[in-house]
Amino acid sequence: MAEIGQKTLLDSGWLAARSTDVQLTGTQLTTTHPPTSPTSPWMEAVVPGTVLATLVENKVVGDPFYGLENETILDIADSGREYYTFWFFTKFQCKLSGTQHLDLNFRAINYSAELYLNGHKRVLPKGMFRRHSLEVTDILNPDGSNLLAVLVHPPDHPGSIPPAGGQGGDHEIGKDVATQYVEGWDWIAPVRDRNTGIWDEVSISVTGPVKIIDPHLVSSFFDRYTRVYLHATTELENRSSWVAECSLNIQVTTELEGSVCLMEHLKTQHVSIPPRARIQYTFPQLFFYKPNLWWPNGMGKQSLYNVSITVDVKGHGESDSWGQLFGFRKIESHIDCATGGRLFKVNGQPIFIRGGNWILSDCLLRLSKERYKTDIKFHADMNLNMIRCWGGGLAERPEFYHYCDVYGLLVWQEFWITGDVDGRGVPVSNPNSPLDHDLFMLCARDTSQSENITSVEGLSTAYKDPSQYLDGTRVYIQGSMWDGFANGKGGFTDGPYEIQNPEDPFKDNFYKYGFNPEVGSVGIPVAATIRATMPREGWQIPLFKKLPNGYTEEVPNPIWQYHKYLPYSKPGKVHDQIELYGTPKDLDDFCLKAQLVNYIQYRALLEGWTSRMWSKYTGVLIWKTQNPWTGLRGQFYDHLLDQTAGFFGCRCAAEPIHVQLNLATYFIEVVNTTAEELSNVAIEASVWDLEGACPYYKVFDKLSLPPKKVVSISEMKYPKSKNPKPVFFLLLKLYHVSNYSIVSRNFYWLHVSGGDYKLLEPYRNKRIPLKITSKTFIKGSSYEVEMKVLNKSKKPDPKTLTYKNNFAVRNDDSDFDMTSLEPIPDTRADLKQPTGLFQRLYRQFSRESDGLRVAEINGSDGGVAFFLNFSVHGAKMEHEEGEDSRILPVHYSDNYFSLVPGEEMSIKISFKVPPGFFLLGSSIHASFVKNPENLYPIEDFKDSNNAIVVWNSLLGMYSRCGTLTDLTKLFDEMPIRDTISWNTMVSGFLRNGKFDEGFSYFKQMRKSGICWFDQATLTTILSACDRVEFYHVVKMMHGLVFSNGYGKEISVGNSLITSYFRCGCLSSGRQVFAEMFERNVITWTAMISGLVQNELYEKSLELFNQMRSGPVCPNSLTYLSSLMACSGLQALTGGRQIHSLLWKLGIQSEVCIESSLMDMYSKCGQVTDAWKIFESAQDLDEVSMTVILMGLAQNGFEEEAKRFFMKMFESGIEIDPNMLSAVLGVFSEDTSLSLGKQIHSLSIKRNFGFNSYVNNGLINMYSKCGDLEESAKVFSRMSQRNSISWNSMIAAFARHGDGCRALQLYEEMRSDGIAPTDVTFLSLLHACSHVGLVEKGMELLKSMTDVYGIIPRAEHYACVVDMLGRAGLLNEAKTFMQGLPLKADVLVWQALLGTCSIRGDSKIGKYAANQLILETPESPVPYVSMANIYSSRGKWKERARTIKRMKEIGVSKEIGISWIETEKKVHSFVVQDRMHPQAELMYGILEELLKLMLEEGYVPGNVTPTECQT
């Protein structure tokens, strides 16, 4: 069941069937005859996805991406629309309560549909790009089980495919509002079902009476971006039949350095909404001073604020919520007068556009958040800054825009019209498409309103201006090709889209306009991708046909031709670029040489454009960056998400600051696209030949590079020198002179004019020695590998100080930024930590690594290590020969790189291991599968024994990896099994929390009759029984122990003791211990720790002393348990004695021991000793951090605890719920509420919202800081509440004087089945005291003992005395005290005296004061209270005598402190305080205020301005 404001995705459990195969109506499908399983005609459906995706998944048709399989799939033009009209069916659970409402949401379907829910029909109208949200509250089944069927129809005009193909087929699809690429293009084959299906997200969402609809965020800027306003508007729909009184909240948070969340704004507005009404509400604008701005990739950080809106309805709590990341940015665009091209500005800075054209991620619309993340991050990794969503594809999904925001990609949105399908093409298409103009505009409006996207730069529709639906912050142009994009006058040319001579993009005549929205080139992937996507006949490389004019024509095989292969030659213009390296021999050779060309092509294309930045060009967009299928042209990475070398050529060329060689002029140039001048830099240029010699070396120093400029440095002299080598390498490095850190590195391989690269062919046989040092960090299935690759063939020249390639850190976000943390200064003298403490902690917490590994590639040759590339491979449990073993996607900081002799390069790699892949374990399994004699025994007993060992080892590996599916499969395939096999299965499931399955295998083991359980079986099962509900299982296992003769086994006895104590059965655990014939250290430790776990601390210490006097010596765990007992008893002396023993034994530095020592000293009030241990600790973990944090908090070091917590954040230490709970506990009335809100934001971000300890801490924090409303919100949102939760909320109401609400909550607590505690009654009595409910209070006090058996403490009696006194019943209070079962202590007397002070009763007050003086003679409380009582009665002589007596005995009054929070900082002050740095200003303002008061007629008497400071 979804919670209020959250959606539940319906993305699994769907079935699908062709409509003509289903003889039932939608009503029958969702009432009496629902499909129950994927049996014909029903099959498992891909939702979100298309009909074709479902057919492919079920192998009904072949994979249209593989070879020529698409040709075997029936096209909708031949089959008719009914063939691809499909039913989709699913079930979902939802049971509403009270005033809840349910929406069924379809983010998009193609093209129209009828929907049936529990027999009720709804219609989803036409249009591929419109949202559908249906309120279905009234048609849900009362039992919560709901049946949903959707009949989806294809587009109305699917069209047909002409024999010659063409751009958009016969263009009929353009008559509908749908994707236009689906009829095929020159880069994709036709999509047979035209993307029919439920292609986007389906969800249900629960709201209360009021629903939030399409909030919209806009920012406005003033004073050079220092003053910014956020404007938020939303629609609100009241679905109830009564006026909804709403609290509408908007919250804005941001993430600071080190993952610290800062609450920027939290505003609440009251809104009344009439019944069944829908209103639009605009929040008061929110002001931000110097906010962090959002910048495009390469220009700065992508700062994003988290904006959340919630609506609470009076009497119903939270009704709906909404959240969105939002970046402050101002985007402008105009025609550049210098170039004629369109110029873009972000936050006032001109942005030189280097971007790409995007179609969509997958043409079967199998779209996922993870794939979008990879796609967009790839674009950011290439240093691109804009994506143009081409008009023939999608308007894209929210996940696409989310990651564009995160990674800094501007988006140009084309909507859904292309020129080829709207007035152009062969045959000429309909110029007025689509047929339904209103539907197009409705979809455009819906798309614009549904997305609050920071990155969207502009829109174009080639149709009609939709700007009436926009917010004024985005540019509208009718067409990005022909309307003011290229030259500002309507003129344009697109392309070229083919292979180029590398020097051509640098020439003036390459492209005549200022901005090119489409220019493309080749894009063959690596050989592994060809093999993975084509049968063997597709592995044939093109024929190289020599033409009479000396050029080469490439003739591809039919499969390559079908996949739109773009040749690497252009006869008459460009010689075959692959042949420059020699005629390729096979697929591997062809694809490797193609990567060399890919790198050069795209680097030259972008460097040529950048060379004319602002002088000729304002930007360029590559056609395309990727393909939505297995195409063979125009891509930086293939559909399997493996990068081509062109990816890294682009990454190199598009650097924000870049050194390059102009291939037309041979001048070295530096491009600075940033807004900052780069000074004191130098360029190192070195030429290397194929023998490893360096015939040319030059440094250009003392350079300054102005912002937004291209600087020509010097002409390269080498090729013009005597005897240049026919093939040579050029390495350019731009670096800071001060520290030799590299800003830009660029490596070229070049040939002399008229030459080629054929000498590189024999160079491939060279063995260049390499040293690769790597370190792997593993978190779950995520891997990060840091490598250093060294070319060992020559020692570096000592004059050359850049050989280690220490790259300067870019000032923007990057997944590869692993720079060291800065030292954090300490602010507390008596708790001082050494420099670097938090760096050490951070390193400690990041130790999930395989350690440092060194690999040597031996070689005797010297020279450049050329065109090195990495790939990551794994193995599956079932691995077929020739199967693709690559793990994809992988993010590389660089690849296809080269190293000159002595040079070292750092490479960082990150990836996730997909399910079913293992990097080592299953590789070993695979090797056994290839050698089956190791797995399958023959008659020889020895071979059988060896085989079972191998099988069991593999079982153990899968068990420990937690891959239970593979574990089960392997177990089922085992030809023989023994007890170890069964034990491994039992252990594997129990260890992974699958108790039913684990116990089931144990039962099967006993029934098998072949294998019998042993002591390992028993201990495995007993170790899993760690909760009260397993008590009967432990008893059963205990019986099996004795009935099968394992009673004397010491390991079994130890397990029984542990299990009994964990299940709370202390007597049984003690009995097992007493009856054991033999005891070892584990036995004693189990017993001692069990007693500690059950809070029998004294008994545990007695047993510990008994153990020490016997023959068995304690171990670390024994001492650990004993320290925990000392903590529980606050036994400092005993704890110090154990600490001394640990020193003698030399085990005091073990991590768990140090944590326990810190806890013991903290609990005993010796926080300084605890801190000393923390300071000296070599290894620390999260437990240590939490212990010291709680120690500071619980011993009066609240400010230090908060500072300590903040430093943990800033150091990148992972924060867990225990740490948050600990720091929330230090908040009090004088604590900054804004800090508490930041911590609340952090808890939301870290998904700690379901942790009861964190929520309880938040309730207390907000109530102590004065925000009772927020406390109540936290409490109302808790899905599970324990007694502490209820106590915290009751205490909050009591603290704020709302006694009636506190008592009401107490009744709700009882009805919820939660038993009250002594803390509950303390809060209730406090509440009764403040609202005068004396009878109720006395009734509660009586029920404590009579009903709940709770013995009242002095605090409870003090509350009762206070309650009676406040009600004026002082004599009754005195009488009550005299009848107490225990002697009244300080708290009780203070309560009586305090109420006497309130009531002005000097008689009883004097009696109470005298008693208090006897109890605490040094306390000022009785004297001050009596002085106040005398003052209130006008007894000035008695007051004077009291003050005099107070001075005579040397008792001084504590100074009262007040505080106020301004600018997120708490300021404390006392009477006549002049310590504040702005004291004089404040006193001056008070003087002015007093003058104004006097003018208004105020008579101050004897009060002076100075005395007003209180």
Nearest to 1236 by CA among 172, 263, 80: 263
Nearest to 362 by CA among 543, 629, 73: 629
Q: Is 883 a catalytic residue?
A: no
Buried b (16+ CB within 10 A) or exposed e, 276-288: eeeeebebeebeb
For residues 334 and 727, give the distance between their C-alpha atoms in angstroms, rounded to a whole number: 45
- On the question of a cis peptide bond just before residue 628, with omega within 30 degrees of 0, the verdict is no
- List the catalytic residue out of 237, 396, 399, 518: 518
Nearest to 1337 by CA among 1385, 1373, 1313: 1373
For residues 1104 and 858, give the distance between their C-alpha atoms in angstroms, rounded to a whole number: 60
For residue 148, what are the contacts with CB-CB under 8 A and spacing of at least 6? 10, 30, 89, 90, 91, 92, 104, 115, 116, 117
Classify 629 in phi/psi space as left (phi over 0), alpha (psi -120 to 50) or beta: beta
Single-letter amino acid, residue 721: S
Q: Give the Cα-Cα-Cα angle 422, 425, 426 (nearest 5 degrees).
A: 135
Burial class (CB in 10 A: 0-12, 13-18, 19+), 1138: buried
For residues 802 and 809, give the distance between their C-alpha atoms in angstroms, rounded to a whole number: 15
Strand partners, 553: 545
Classify 521 in phi/psi space as left (phi over 0), alpha (psi -120 to 50) or beta: beta
User: In the 8-state DSSP scheme, what is residue 1454?
Assistant: P
Nearest to 481 by CA among 357, 347, 307, 587: 357
For residues 1389 and 1395, give the distance between their C-alpha atoms in angstroms, rounded to a whole number: 10
For residues 841 and 1147, give the distance between their C-alpha atoms in angstroms, rounded to a whole number: 21
Tell me which residue has tokens 């007992």: 1125
1086 neighbors 1061 (Cβ within 8 angstroms)? yes
DSSP string, 1012-1066: ---HHHHHHHHHH--SGGGHHHHHHHHHHHHHTT-TT-HHHHHHHHHHHHHTT-H
Query: Using DSSP, how many helices (H) and how many strands (E) does the chain show?
Result: 44, 48
Could you tell me the CA-to-CA distances from 1332 to 1088, 1300, 1352, 1365, 1366 in Å, in that order? 50, 10, 20, 10, 7
For residues 887 and 894, give the distance between their C-alpha atoms in angstroms, rounded to a whole number: 17
For residue 430, what are the contacts with CB-CB under 8 A and spacing of at least 6? 171, 174, 175, 422, 423
- List the catalytic residue out of 451, 669, 684, 784: 451
Nearest to 847 by CA among 1154, 1148, 1180, 1184: 1180
DSSP string, 145-162: EEEEEEEEE--S------
580 neighbors 757 (Cβ within 8 angstroms)? yes
Other CB atoms within 10 Å distance of the CB of residue 1163:
24
For residues 76 and 86, give the distance between their C-alpha atoms in angstroms, rounded to a whole number: 13
Q: Is 451 a catalytic residue?
A: yes
User: In the 8-state DSSP scheme, what is residue 1315?
Assistant: P
842 neighbors 671 (Cβ within 8 angstroms)? no
For residues 285 and 694, give the distance between their C-alpha atoms in angstroms, rounded to a whole number: 64
For residues 818 and 816, give the distance between their C-alpha atoms in angstroms, rounded to a whole number: 6
Strand order in the sheet with 305-313: 261-273, 244-255, 305-313, 317-326
Strand partners, 37: none
Looking at the annotation, which residues are catalytic?
Answer: 451, 518
